[in-house]
């Protein structure tokens, strides 16, 4: 069977979700009719430079190369530098872009709003501008359930009101969604798939790649695994008086490998004859899990007692957030298959094998 080659620009491909998506993309290339050629663009602001001085390939990407028997194509470029972005576009006949790159820490975005608006918005606008110049018509964008703000109903469907975000990070996601929607209206052959992630957790089952937060983790799962490995004395549980089954916050955790496969499913939309236009999908499991349920699941996976203390609620948190995943199932054929046990076992394997993460020099 003749294969079709597709060059895909993966911005932020050295990061947590990007690196897992590369593995899945390369796996379908080996078995399917489309050969994807990923080209990674990342400024390494939140990922680890290669430990090998000779090759400047980031450590995560190097490990993806080992897992997928692939020679990485990597460009250390900042999306805010439009001429450098143009240079990358001039080298490859891109068919599509998966846009992961950006800043993502909610708390930091409240403290440094200008930095978040600058990096996320200017980065996205430069990318769209250069796509336009080089006539690249297909983009998948990493959005977030944060655009829904406080849910008016559960599970949250894609047509839930958006934009009532409680922090600048969320506002950047909402605004980039709007840029993409407007561009789709203006250019009938421009296609954008907006993926609203719920809470990505877990790691590749090899334990070779995973989430590697800098400093103290903001998110629940990496915090729990760092307590389990002994890097932190206890987990602070932010509030136990929410209106949920056990009083702690409920979220829709999705395994990062499932999430990665959601991107592969979304890319296939661009192969259809009918233009996609602008399409929005939730990527989650549709199941809520509380903080204490996660602590129990991790204790079972790691066989380590997880010390925790209940403290005050965290500002800006809501009781329960979980999505309706049915649109992605119907239109993308995407369904998350991994369980809470898989999420904990894989996160724990990654943490145990890499107690200091990628061990950036
Ligand atoms: P990550 O920080 O691990 O990866 C992002 C990558 O982008 C990093 O490697 C970083 O170096 C790079 N980057 C940042 N700014 C850049 C710039 N200006 N130019 C080039 N590269 C740049 O984050 P992640 O968890 O993999 O998230 C990927 C995307 O998914 C982000 O857009 C994030 O906002 C979104 N998202 C993440 C979560 C989550 O919980 N992880 C949830 C919802 C949405
Ligand atoms: N939590 C704790 N202790 C911690 C960390 C978190 O109790 O040390 C609790 C939170 O209060 C919340 C739950 O664990 O109830 C999940 O918190 P996370 O910080 O892991 O995740 P959030 O749902 O707050 O936010 C995450 C990302 C956002 C993204 C959103 C999408 O940080 O960027 O998921 O739903 F937008």
Q: What is the pLDDT at residue 48?
A: 86
Question: Which is it for the CA torsion 111, 180, 89, 213, positive or negative?
Answer: positive
- Contact criterion met (CB below 8 Å) for 203 and 358: no
Residue spans of the chain under pLDDT 70: 1-2, 51-55, 361
In short, whether 14's Cβ falls inside 6 Å of ligand 1 is: yes
Which SS3 state, helix, strand or coil, does residue 143 take?
A: strand
Q: Give every strand in the sheet of 4-11, ordered side by side.
A: 74-76, 34-42, 4-11, 94-99, 138-144, 191-197, 278-283
Ligand 1: residue of 45, 97, 102 to mutate (most ligand atoms within 8 A of CB) is 102
Sole residue written with tokens 């005050």: 312
- Euclidean distance between CA atoms 180 and 125, whole angstroms: 9
Is residue 238 within 6 Å of ligand 2 at its C-beta? yes
Q: Which helix (H) or strand (E) holds 253?
A: strand 253-255
pLDDT at 1: 59
Q: Which helix (H) or strand (E) holds 168?
A: helix 168-186
DSSP state of 141: E
pLDDT of residue 360: 79
How far apart are the C-alpha atoms of 78 and 81, rounded to whole Å? 5
User: CB–CB of 292/248 below 8 Å?
Assistant: yes
Verify whether ligand 2 is closer than 6 Å to residue 173 (CB atom): no
C-alpha 49/C-alpha 43 separation (Å) is 10
Q: Whose CA is nearest to atom 10 of ligand 1?
A: 46
- For residue 33, what is the DSSP state? S
Q: What is the pLDDT of residue 54?
A: 53
C-alpha of residue 303 to centroid of ligand 2, in Å = 24
The answer to whether 92 is a known catalytic residue is: no
Report pLDDT for 14. Answer: 98
**Is any ligand 2 atom within 6 A of the Cβ of residue 259?**
no
Query: In terms of C-beta density within 10 A (0-12 exposed, 13-18 middle, 19 or more buried), how is residue 58 classed?
Result: buried
Residue 120 DSSP one-character state: I
Q: Are 323 and 251 in contact (CB under 8 A)?
A: no
Three-state DSSP at 16 gives helix
pLDDT score for 55: 62
Residue 163: the pLDDT is 95
Q: Is the CB of 138 under 6 A from ligand 2?
A: no
102 lines ligand 1 (CB under 6 A): yes
d(CA 118, CA 151): 28
- Measure the CA–CA gap between 286 and 338, rounded to whole angstroms: 12
Q: What is the pTM of this model?
A: 0.98
* Residue entry with tokens 């602008």: 278
Ligand 2 centre from 219 Cα, in Å?
5
- The protein residue with its alpha carbon nearest to ligand 2, atom 32, reads 219
Residues 359/47, Cβ–Cβ less than 8 Å: no
Residue recorded with tokens 């932010």: 238
b/e for 37-46, b at 16 or more Cβ within 10 A? bbbbbbbbeb
The average confidence (pLDDT) of the chain is 96
- Cβ-contact 219, 226 below 8 angstroms: no
Report the C-alpha gap between 91 and 73 in whole angstroms: 11
Catalytic residue of the set 16, 169, 197, 322: 169
Residue 339 three-state SS: coil
Neighbours of 69 (CB within 10 A): 8
Rounded Cα distance between 255 and 260, Å, is 9
Phi, psi dihedral angles at 243 (to 5 degrees) = -85, 70
CA distance 118 to 231: 33
pLDDT (0 to 100) of residue 11: 98
pLDDT digits (tens, 9 = 90+) for 24-83: 999 999 988 999 999 999 999 998 887 665 568 999 999 999 999 999 999 999 999 999
Which of the ligands is closest to the CA of residue 79? 1
Element (H, E) at 9: strand 4-11
């Amino acid at each position: 069977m003749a294969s079709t080659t597709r060059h895909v620009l993966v911005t932020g491909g050295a990061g947590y979700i990007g690196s897992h998506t590369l593995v899945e993309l390369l796996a379908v290339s080996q078995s399917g009719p489309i050969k994807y050629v990923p080209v990674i663009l990342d400024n390494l602001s939140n990922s680890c430079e290669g430990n090998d001085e000779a090759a400047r390939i980031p450590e995560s990407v190097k490990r993806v190369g080992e897992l997928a028997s692939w020679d990485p194509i990597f460009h250390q470029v900042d999306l805010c530098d439009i001429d450098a972005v143009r240079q990358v576009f001039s080298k490859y006949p891109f068919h599509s872009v998966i846009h992961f790159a950006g800043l993502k820490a909610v708390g930091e975005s409240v403290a440094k709003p200008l930095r978040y608006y600058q990096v996320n918005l200017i980065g996205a606008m430069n990318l769209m501008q250069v796509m336009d110049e080089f006539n690249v018509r297909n983009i998948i964008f990493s959005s977030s359930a944060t655009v829904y703000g406080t849910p008016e109903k559960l599970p949250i469907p894609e047509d839930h009101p958006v934009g009532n975000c409680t922090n600048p990070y969320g506002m950047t996601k909402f605004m980039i969604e709007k840029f993409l929607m407007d561009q789709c209206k203006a250019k009938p052959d421009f296609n954008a798939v907006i993926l609203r992630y719920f809470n990505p957790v877990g790691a590749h089952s090899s334990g070779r790649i995973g989430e590697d937060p800098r400093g103290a983790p903001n998110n629940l799962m990496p915090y729990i695994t760092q307590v389990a490995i002994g890097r932190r004395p206890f987990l602070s549980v932010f509030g136990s008086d929410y209106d949920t089954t056990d009083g702690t916050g409920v979220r829709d955790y999705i395994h990062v490998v499932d999430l990665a496969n959601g991107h592969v499913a979304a890319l296939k939309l661009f192969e259809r004859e009918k233009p996609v236009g602008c399409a929005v999908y939730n990527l989650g499991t549709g199941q809520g899990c509380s903080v204490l349920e996660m602590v129990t699941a991790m204790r079972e996976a790691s066989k380590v007692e997880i010390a925790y203390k209940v403290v005050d609620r965290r500002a800006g948190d809501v009781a329960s957030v979980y999505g309706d995943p049915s649109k992605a199932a119907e239109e993308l054929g995407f369904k998350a298959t991994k369980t809470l046990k898989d999420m904990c076992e894989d996160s724990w394997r990654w943490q145990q094998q890499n107690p200091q993460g990628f061990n950036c020099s």
